[in-house]
Structure 1
Amino acid sequence: MNVPRYLLRHRITIESYRGDSAYGQRYGPPVANVPALVAETIRTVRDREGREVTSTAQIIAAPGLDCPAESRITLPDGRTTRAISVAHHTAPGLPVPQCTEVSAE
């Protein structure tokens, strides 16, 4: 069971991080109108290297979202941010929704 789409009221744009090159960070093409639920609250999270950092936006989206850490995200208010960490929540066999949670700068 996936998170119900009617709960994903916001629309975001994601440019998936594809790695570094000689010219800087590389991103995939922008994917616009991704359904999500965005909470702009300040929270302390750990980045992919284990350091404590501050997240100013948390995003809930459908499972299978292609948004690795370092991806660029444009929030509904137009602010562009960066994904700090990504968690895929699954519960096989349980009646709870699966989703992807992204913590952003």
Structure 2
Amino acid sequence: MPGWLLRHRIAIEPYLGDTAYGPSFGPQVVDVPALVDESPRMVRGADGREVLATATVIAAPDLHCPPGSRITLPDGRTTTALTVAHHTAPGLPVPANTEVSCE
């Protein structure tokens, strides 16, 4: 994805897993270039249920954001990554990117 298309900046706390004290997150990565679309849409979560995603984040193809990660959107709202899809098309003239659907 060309950097000039990623007009927003987000922060990500990567989900590391559950502990005896609840979910564990890695160090926050700030100023991540992204394109944020806050249009609601239905997505299928990791557990198979259909859930309403309130935002979609499109970022560089090397984005590290496992499902369950905390994301701070440009407006300051904190949300959780529901699904993560890496889009690539080797050999084709289309941009590769990572798409994150957020709770």
Q: Same fold (TM over 0.5)?
A: yes
Q: Does 1:103 pair with 2:97?
A: no
Answering whether residue 8 of structure 2 is matched by residue 10 of structure 1, we say yes
Deviation at 1:33, TM superposition (A): 0.2
Aligned-pair Cα RMSD in Å: 0.4
Q: CA deviation at 1:57?
A: 0.2
* Superposition map of 1:52-67 within 5 A: 52-67=50-65
Within 2, Cα distance between the matches of 1:68 and 1:48?
11
Matched, 1:92 2:95: no
TM-score (norm 2): 0.99
Structure 1, unaligned stretches of length 5 or more?
none
In 2: Cα distance, 1:80 partner to 1:53 partner: 17
Alignment partner of 1:48 out of 27, 46, 49: 46
Q: Given the alignment, which residue of 28, 31, 38 partners 1:30?
A: 28
TM-score scaled by length of structure 1: 0.97
Shift in Å at residue 31 of structure 1?
Answer: 0.1
Structure 2 gap ranges (5+): none
C-alpha distance in 1 between matches for 2:12 and 2:68: 11
